[in-house]
């Protein structure tokens, strides 16, 4: 008999349907991945199961059977007794999910205290045991520390410890690793796997990352627009997807699709970006902190160079020095063909990571795209309007979006607007700072295709900053791997991915989720 049996569940927000009658089961000790893009209803489903839907949501119909009990009919008070004891939750964001003014020990112990498991000394002993179990070094010290003293990965381990404290039969993990670096992500997923093997806990893994789902689940439930598109054993679904949507997701997921490496033509090209011994130091108290340490590389014209590394590796600081938003402490950035001062901006353009923040909410799409033209006084009003229309065509946006505001656009559309703005003054170099990281995989794939095509048509040179190796493999000709401010390895994408030299590169590569089970 199944541990969790969801039958024909429908949930709506303020009368608008978000989940349209879905059914799936989770067997004891099984990992079931709920996969879908943002807005597919996967998180709503998970929250319905654990009874944590927001106030404006209602369960319209369906049953949520945990064993024999139908949770859909339970009162909030009864659910309280169940949460933690029977169903554990690993929340999405380790940065905001812990109480900043309580110690780690108090927060892990809280769930035991609420459910009345043991006296103070017994709880304290169990907390240390749990923290040891989730792999936190020096657990006695950790129990006395506050959340801000721990790294993101350590906080996520604490959240897992809270979720498994009472040995629940089911753990719901809502995007448990989305906010973490690749190598940390892998260790956390390994931990979840170990705990499942040890305690026989079933896991409902909610994720937008098909790579993670493919490598970690027994069965897949693919959701789209509130419906289940397809479900089945992971290996079977991956090998032969039945639904067209699943096939598309698989094709678009960078970690799963095997594409050819991009190789630059063998003919030597003149460099478009040259970095020489670039150093950036920040003052932190008395001691200077070296964020970028003697970074040098060259990018040939018309190719893509990727700068890869985890958060804090110095890749974004390097990118900001290339676009001259930050002054280097020493060393040089040379961009042949770029002028000085304001003329520099006509040749080098930056595309920000977050398309939600990089567009002025009060301007229309047409005003945003025309802004560089106005700044450089290129053309009159009519000429600018014509150029805006041409640019919107270039980035495959319908022209009638010109009058809309950014908030009326989807994430992918916004990033296209940002790219159109960057292209307006016909630059030679585009610096893309995590430009596709905030997007769903299918949108991500479309933007990457667009970038590739623009490069072919306009001969652009890209400096592509990313933490996602799977994306990098797909788009770049050459790669530099950064760690702690230094470049630890450089070469063509094929070299770096097939014959990694540095141990750090090997660790990064091993962290790309692969569909093996």
* Closer residue to another protein in complex, CB, 430/488: 430
If the CB atoms of residues 287 and 377 are measured against another protein, the closer one turns out to be: 377
**Cβ 74 to another protein, closest distance in Å?**
33
Asked if residues 60 and 11 have their Cβ atoms less than 8 Å apart, the reply is: yes
Residue 189 C-beta: closest distance to another protein, Å: 31
Alpha helices in 26-136 (DSSP H): 42-50, 76-82, 104-114, 120-133
**Using an 8 Å Cβ cutoff, are 469 and 261 in contact?**
no
Please report how close the Cβ of residue 358 comes to another protein at its closest, in angstroms: 4
For tokens 């692969």, name the residue: 514
Q: Give Cα 85 to chain centroid, integer Å.
A: 30
Residue 350 phi/psi, 5° resolution? -110, 135
Looking at beta carbons only, is 189 or 370 nearer to another protein? 370
Residue 499 Cβ, how far from another protein at the closest point, in Å?
Answer: 37
| Alpha-carbon gap, residue 436 to 54, rounded angstroms | 30
Please give the DSSP secondary-structure letter assigned to residue 262. P
Q: Which is nearer to another protein, 247 or 425 (CB)?
A: 425
Nearer to another protein, 358 or 490 (CB): 358
- For residues 307 and 463, the answer to whether their CB atoms sit within 8 Å is yes
Determine the longest span between alpha carbons in the chain, in angstroms. Answer: 78
Residue 95: CB minimum distance to another protein, A: 19
CB 289 within 8 A of CB 282: yes
Of residues 77 and 342, the one with the C-beta less far from another protein: 342
**What are phi and psi for residue 307, nearest 5 degrees?**
-110, 110
98, 215, 102: which is closest to 159 by C-alpha?
98
Q: How far is the CB of 494 from another protein (least distance, A)?
A: 33
Query: By C-beta, is 226 or 372 nearer to another protein?
Result: 372
- In the complex with another protein, the residue whose CB is nearer, 134 or 451, is 451
- Smallest separation, CB 374 to another protein (Å): 8
Supply angle C-alpha 8, 13, 17, rounded to 5. 45
Q: Token digits for 336? A: 């042949």
Q: How far is CA 234 from CA 88, 141, 191, 246, 486, in A?
A: 23, 40, 20, 12, 39
Query: To the nearest whole angstrom, how small is the minimum distance from the Cβ of residue 323 to another protein?
Result: 7
Residue 253 backbone dihedrals phi, psi, to 5 degrees? -70, 115
3-state secondary structure of 26: strand
Whether the CB-CB separation of 369 and 394 falls below 8 Å is answered with no
Question: What's the closest the beta carbon of residue 454 comes to another protein, in angstroms?
Answer: 17
Residues that bind another protein in the complex, under the rule CB under 8 A: 323, 325, 342, 345-346, 349-350, 352, 354, 357-362, 371-372, 374-376, 418, 421-422, 424-425
Helices within 134-259 (DSSP H only): 139-144, 152-164, 182-199, 210-216, 234-239, 244-252
Based on C-alpha coordinates, what's the Rg of the chain?
25
User: Which residue lies nearer to another protein by CB, 124 or 404?
Assistant: 404
């Amino acid at each position: 008999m199944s541990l969790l049996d969801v039958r024909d569940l429908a949930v709506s927000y303020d009368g608008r349907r978000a989940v349209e009658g879905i059914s799936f089961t989770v067997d004891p000790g099984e990992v079931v991945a709920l996969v879908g893009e943002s807005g597919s209803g996967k998180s709503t489903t998970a929250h319905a199961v654990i009874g944590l839907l927001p106030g404006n949501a209602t369960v319209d119909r369906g049953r949520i059977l945990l064993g024999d009990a139908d949770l859909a009919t339970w009162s909030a008070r009864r659910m309280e007794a169940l949460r933690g004891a029977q169903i554990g939750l690993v929340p999405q964001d380790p940065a905001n999910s812990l109480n900043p003014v309580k110690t780690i020990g108090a927060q892990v112990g809280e769930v035991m205290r609420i459910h009345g498991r043991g006296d103070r000394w017994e709880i304290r002993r169990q907390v240390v045991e749990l923290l040891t179990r989730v792999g936190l070094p020096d657990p006695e010290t950790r129990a006395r520390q506050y959340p801000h003293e721990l790294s993101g990965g350590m906080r996520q381990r604490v959240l897992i410890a809270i979720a498994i404290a009472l040995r629940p039969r089911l753990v719901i993990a809502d995007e448990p690793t989305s906010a973490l670096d690749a190598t940390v992500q892998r260790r956390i997923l390994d931990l979840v796997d170990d705990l499942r093997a040890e305690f026989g806990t079933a896991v409902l893994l909610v994720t937008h990352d098909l790579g993670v789902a493919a490598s970690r689940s027994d069965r897949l439930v693919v959701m789209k627009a509130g419906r289940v598109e397809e479900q089945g054993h992971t290996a079977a679904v991956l090998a032969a997807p039945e639904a067209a949507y699943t096939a598309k997701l698989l094709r678009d997921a960078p970690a799963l699709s095997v594409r050819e490496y991009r190789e630059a033509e063998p003919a030597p090209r003149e460099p478009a970006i040259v970095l020489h011994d670039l150093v950036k130091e920040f003052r932190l108290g008395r001691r200077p902190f070296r964020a970028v340490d003697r970074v040098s590389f060259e990018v040939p014209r018309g190719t893509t160079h990727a700068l890869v590394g985890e958060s804090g590796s110095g890749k974004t600081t390097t990118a900001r020095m290339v676009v001259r938003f930050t002054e280097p402490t020493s060393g040089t950035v040379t961009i042949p063909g770029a002028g000085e001062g304001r003329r520099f901006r006509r040749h080098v353009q930056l595309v920000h990571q977050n398309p939600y923040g990089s567009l002025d909410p009060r301007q229309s799409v047409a005003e945003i795209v025309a802004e560089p033209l106005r700044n450089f006084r290129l053309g009159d009003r009519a000429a600018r309007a014509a150029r805006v229309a041409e640019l919107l065509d270039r980035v495959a946006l319908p022209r009638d979006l010109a009058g809309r505001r950014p908030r009326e656009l989807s994430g992918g559309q916004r990033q296209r607007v940002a790219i159109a703005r960057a292209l307006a003054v016909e630059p030679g170099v585009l610096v893309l700072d995590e430009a596709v990281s905030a997007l769903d995989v299918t949108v991500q794939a479309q933007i990457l295709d667009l970038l590739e095509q623009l490069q072919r048509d306009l001969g652009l040179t890209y400096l592509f900053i990313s933490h996602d190796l799977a994306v990098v493999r797909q788009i770049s000709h050459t790669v530099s791997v950064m760690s702690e401010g230094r470049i630890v390895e450089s070469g063509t994408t094929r070299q770096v991915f097939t014959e990694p030299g540095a141990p750090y590169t090997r660790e990064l590569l091993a962290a790309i989720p692969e569909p093996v089970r």
